[in-house]
């Protein structure tokens, strides 16, 4: 029987080496493929996560600007979306937020869609690492509701993540009533004057000026005092404060003084006053009688629900008591001397723009003597003062377009006082259970020994005649991903 040739050991080794080489090569290729795939998956997940984060950041950005849209008071529902577009043009156009080449927002030809940025493809940068977003706003329900879709992107990829949220139009918060004194104009305090909160509530003596025409929005000379904080809309505000004057109990060189003076704050919305609801309680414009005032009144008189005719320019002197509503037609100069008791509310007829066209020199309310105020809730329960009038609390003097002067004590004013220029002089002073709001871009002046104590009611009890603009608030249950 023939023998099988013996295999040389070196041949077996070569075959095994080739097998191991093939095996390890295959494993290496597999590991490479797996690692490459995992790396790609991780990169995709990172881009997706960063794009989602960019979309969420973009929605937060839009939420802020929609909440501060400040649409004009009494905007008709069918004009809300147009008013929103106007507001967003002001907020975004040609600002540093907008990208080069698309520096404005866009509005569709049918007026139903707003794109930010305007070309619909550019994006607003969020950081230096490539995160960005764009937004599209669609009109729903005639503009009373809107849908906002934000598309997030990372590293300028073709991949975007979208989120959608609906917003509804609501009146803006009445934040201005959080201030004891708020003025569109400068505030000047000279002498031994004070704006202070009631005992234990000194913070209520807070002051705001939205004056922007020059840095000196507040001047405090002599021993003037403000017990609360002071806020300026102007970021470059430079108040003129003497060394003896104090804000929140601090002199200008005291530690912590800068913490009670705030500059560059978000401008609060000043309200529009609509006094038409008070007119129903006074005689009509063509009526006559003892409650229709055409000239001076003096003596020991009690007058109820008055209409002051335009141009009457009356002086009320002696011990006069006025109950109910005093409704002032324009123009008029109304003056109180002697001891006056007012149980009710004084209002001026109003237009849609806070009587800005009125001449302050021809439209004035002057309290030259001592005045005792009490609000409409204290009126007797008679047919002259129905329950509906008793409910109109929160305001005592609502005279937009008028200059208001106090030279005597006014005891307690149980509500806010609103006008277009204020002067407190002599020994004028008392307690105001509300806020003092100067609607005019005119100086508000306190001189002599004027001492005003503020017991602000905040945003919970402002006058029913007040109208604020509106903004958009999110409806959380409408949140969705994918832009649906």
Q: Which residue(s) pair with 148 in the sheet?
A: 137, 165
Whether the predicted pLDDT of 2 surpasses 60? no
Q: Which residue(s) pair with 325 in the sheet?
A: 345
The predicted pLDDT at position 47 comes to 72
How far is the C-alpha of 163 from the C-alpha of 160, rounded, in Å?
A: 10
Summarised one tens digit per residue, pLDDT across range 336-362 is 998 899 999 999 999 989 999 999 999
Average pLDDT over residues 449-477: 85
pTM for the complete prediction? Answer: 0.77
N residues, the chain:
484
Summarised one tens digit per residue, pLDDT across range 179-235 is 999 999 999 999 999 999 988 888 889 999 999 999 999 999 999 999 999 999 999
Name the band, by pLDDT with cuts 50, 70 and 90, for residue 101: confident
The predicted pLDDT at position 201 comes to 87
Cα–Cα distance list, 131 to 64, 99, 115, 121, 137 (Å): 19, 13, 19, 15, 21
What does the block give as tokens for 484? 């649906």
- Smallest CA-to-CA distance from 121 within 99, 96, 93 is with 99
Which residue's structure tokens are 């105001």? 432
Taking the CA atoms of residue 119, residue 121, residue 122 and residue 124 in that order, the dihedral angle to the nearest 10 degrees is 110
Whether the predicted pLDDT of 6 surpasses 70? no
The predicted pLDDT at position 75 comes to 87
The predicted pLDDT at position 1 comes to 52
Summarised one tens digit per residue, pLDDT across range 378-391 is 999 999 999 999 99
């Amino acid at each position: 029987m023939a023998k099988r040739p013996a295999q040389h050991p070196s041949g077996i080794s070569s075959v095994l080496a080739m097998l191991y080489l093939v095996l390890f090569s295959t494993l290496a290729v597999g590991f490479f493929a797996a690692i490459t795939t995992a790396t790609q998956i991780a990169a995709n997940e990172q881009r997706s996560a960063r794009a989602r984060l960019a979309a969420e950041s973009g929605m937060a950005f839009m939420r802020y600007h929609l909440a501060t849209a400040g649409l004009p008071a009494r905007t008709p529902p069918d004009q809300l979306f147009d008013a929103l577009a106007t507001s967003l043009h002001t907020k975004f156009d040609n600002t540093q937020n907008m990208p080069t080449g698309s520096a404005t927002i866009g509005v569709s030809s049918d007026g139903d869609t707003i794109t930010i940025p305007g070309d619909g493809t550019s994006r607003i940068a969020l950081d230096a690492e490539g995160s960005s977003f764009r937004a599209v706003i669609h009109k729903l329900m005639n503009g009373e509701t809107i849908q906002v879709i934000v598309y997030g992107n990372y590293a300028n990829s073709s991949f975007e993540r979208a989120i959608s949220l609906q917003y509804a139009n609501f009146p803006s918060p009445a934040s201005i009533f959080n201030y004891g004194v708020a003025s569109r104009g400068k505030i000047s305090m000279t002498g031994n004057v004070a704006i202070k909160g009631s005992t234990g509530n000194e913070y209520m003596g807070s002051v705001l000026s939205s004056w922007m025409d020059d840095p000196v929005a507040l001047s405090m000379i002599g021993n003037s005092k403000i017990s609360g904080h002071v806020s300026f809309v102007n970021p470059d505000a430079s108040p003129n404060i003497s060394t003896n004057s104090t804000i929140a109990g601090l002199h200008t060189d005291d530690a912590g003084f800068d913490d009670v003076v705030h500059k560059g704050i978000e401008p609060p919305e000043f309200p529009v006053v609509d006094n038409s609801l008070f007119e129903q309680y006074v005689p009509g414009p063509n009526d006559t009688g003892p409650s229709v005032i055409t000239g001076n009144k003096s003596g020991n008189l009690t007058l109820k629900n008055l209409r002051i005719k335009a141009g009457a320019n009356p002086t009320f002197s002696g011990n006069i008591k006025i109950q109910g509503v005093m409704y002032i037609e324009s123009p008029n100069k109304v003056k109180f001397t002697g001891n006056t008791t007012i149980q009710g509310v004084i209002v001026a007829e109003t237009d849609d723009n806070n009587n800005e066209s009125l001449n302050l020199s021809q439209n004035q309310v002057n309290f030259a003597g001592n005045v005792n105020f009490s609000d409409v809730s204290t009126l007797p329960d008679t047919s002259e003062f129905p329950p509906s009038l008793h409910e109109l609390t929160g305001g005592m003097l609502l005279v937009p377009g008028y200059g208001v002067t106090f030279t005597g004590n006014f005891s307690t004013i149980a509500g806010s006082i609103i006008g277009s220029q204020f002067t407190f002089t002599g020994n004028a002073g008392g307690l105001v259970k509300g806020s003092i709001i100067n609607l005019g871009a005119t100086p508000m002046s306190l001189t002599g020994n004027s001492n005003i104590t503020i017991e602000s009611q905040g945003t919970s009890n402002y006058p029913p005649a007040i109208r604020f603009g509106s903004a958009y608030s999110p409806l959380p249950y409408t949140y969705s991903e994918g832009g649906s």
